[in-house]
């Protein structure tokens, strides 16, 4: 029997692409469709869920559909391009190389290679599925003829309704930023806004940074910047968290601050909205479409605007209520719980 088999450079259980890939596999398997996950590099934490891509030939069946989870350059791209099976691209976005160039030339070249591979795969793909309309525009520009938009099946399971949150704090608000410690996340804007907030609004405000380091030079510069501003005791680096710990961090925070200069979707935004956590995000990339009326959008390069927006979601009960209503409408429109099934429908139709 033909199946839908996924290919991903490396499967990480704790990141959005990894969670998405595993859930798609489970949905396909639940429909009786054979689905294996093949990788270029094995992660010890997910070795039981994956096989090296060179082993695909041992299991290949006539009529298979290959689903490539694309977010970075990989040797999988030319290998898949040379295969005869129907190919579907699931596009999670490429961080433009200019965000990495000042910090790591090697990573910048790697992102440039990813952009080249994205264009090279366009003639081979029967379908390309973007996680946002922002990403779909990039696919069209890269030459893809048949595209669709389906949100990633990667949101933490938070239940059918958001729990009641405690009243906003008058002082000592706990800011939270979630995402890789990478230059495109522009975390320095959150740090600068925290300095402004502590000087003008909330002297006890703190910031928790959740995410794994990606660029050593950027992380080191961010740490030096925090120290030079005298914020060592106010900013905490937590590292990457598992699903349960991340859920707890979101539940205990007072506001999610996402200052990203470039974002292809922004899973933390929808996770925060589902938990009733106020969101303040940069007006850039896919964030305006994903946040909608469920959070405040600002120019995050302006620390006074960012700090002022955080202060308003702590002190204006009317605004907090409007954002909660907007978040509920936005979550209903995105329908993330049904995203995996919609993607499986699109891909399964090609069998």
Q: State how many domains the chain has.
A: 2
* In a domain? residue 169: no
Considering the chain, what is the average pLDDT of its residues?
A: 94
pLDDT above 70: residue 158: no
pLDDT above 70: residue 99: yes
Nearest one of 9, 2, 173, 152 to 78, comparing CA atoms: 9
Domain range enclosing 90: 4-151+336-348
DSSP string, 232-252: TTTEEEEE---HHHHHHHHHH
* Total residue length of the chain: 351
Q: Are residues 186 and 314 in the same domain?
A: yes
**Prediction pTM value:** 0.90
Burial environment of residue 251 by CB neighbours within 10 A (0 to 12, 13 to 18, 19 or more): middle
pLDDT above 60: residue 161: no
Q: Are residues 194 and 144 in the same domain?
A: no
Is residue 277 within 8 Å of residue 298, measured between CB atoms?
no
User: pLDDT tens digits, residue range 298-309?
Assistant: 999 999 999 999
Per-residue pLDDT averaged across 6-28, rounded?
93
User: pLDDT tens digits, residue range 209-247?
Assistant: 999 999 999 999 999 999 999 999 999 999 988 888 999
Structure tokens at 250: 């979101």
**Cα(139)–Cα(118) distance, integer angstroms:** 8
Q: Are residues 314 and 343 in the same domain?
A: no
User: pLDDT tens digits, residue range 326-336?
Assistant: 999 999 999 88
pLDDT at residue 170, rounded to an integer: 61
Percent of the chain past pLDDT 70, that is, above it, reads: 96
Please tell me the number of Cα atoms within 13 Å of 13 on its side-chain side: 12
User: pLDDT tens digits, residue range 40-57?
Assistant: 999 999 999 999 999 999
Q: Are residues 201 and 304 in the same domain?
A: yes
pLDDT above 80: residue 187: yes
pLDDT above 70: residue 347: yes
**Cα(341)–Cα(344) distance, integer angstroms:** 5
pLDDT at residue 15, rounded to an integer: 82
pLDDT above 60: residue 136: yes
Q: Are residues 84 and 59 in the same domain?
A: yes
Q: Are residues 275 and 139 in the same domain?
A: no
pLDDT at residue 316, rounded to an integer: 85
Q: Are residues 341 and 262 in the same domain?
A: no
């Amino acid at each position: 029997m033909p199946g839908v088999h996924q290919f991903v450079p490396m499967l990480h259980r704790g990141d959005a692409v990894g969670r998405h890939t595993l859930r798609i596999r489970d949905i396909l398997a639940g429909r009786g469709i054979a689905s294996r996950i093949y990788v270029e590099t094995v992660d010890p934490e997910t070795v039981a869920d994956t096989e090296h891509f060179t082993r695909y030939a041992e299991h290949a069946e006539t009529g298979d559909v290959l689903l490539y989870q694309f977010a970075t350059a990989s040797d999988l791209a030319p290998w898949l391009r040379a295969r005869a099976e129907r190919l579907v691209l699931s596009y999670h976005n490429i961080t433009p190389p200019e965000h990495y160039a000042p910090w790591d030339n090697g990573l910048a070249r790697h992102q440039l290679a990813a952009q080249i591979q994205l264009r090279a795969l366009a003639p081979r793909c029967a379908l390309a599925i973007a996680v946002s309309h922002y990403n779909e525009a990039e696919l069209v520009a890269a030459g893809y003829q048949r595209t669709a938009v389906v949100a990633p099946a990667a949101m933490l399971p938070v239940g059918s309704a958001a729990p009641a949150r405690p009243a906003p704090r008058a002082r000592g608000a706990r800011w939270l930023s979630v995402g890789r410690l990478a230059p495109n996340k522009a975390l320095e804007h959150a740090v600068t806004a925290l300095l402004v907030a502590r000087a003008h609004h909330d002297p006890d405000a703190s910031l928790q940074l959740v995410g794994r380091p990606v660029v050593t030079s950027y992380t080191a510069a961010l740490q030096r910047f925090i120290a030079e501003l005298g914020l060592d005791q106010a900013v905490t680096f937590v590292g990457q968290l598992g699903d349960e710990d991340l859920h707890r961090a979101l539940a205990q925070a007072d506001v999610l601050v996402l200052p990203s200069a470039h974002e292809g979707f922004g899973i933390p935004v929808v996770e925060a909205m589902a938990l009733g956590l106020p969101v303040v995000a940069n007006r850039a990339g896919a964030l305006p479409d994903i946040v909608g009326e469920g959070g405040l959008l600002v120019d995050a390069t302006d620390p006074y605007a960012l700090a002022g927006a955080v202060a308003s979601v702590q002190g204006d009960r009317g605004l907090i209520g409007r954002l909660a209503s907007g978040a509920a409408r936005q979550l209903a429109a995105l329908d993330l719980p049904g995203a995996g099934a919609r993607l499986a429908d699109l891909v399964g139709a090609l069998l």
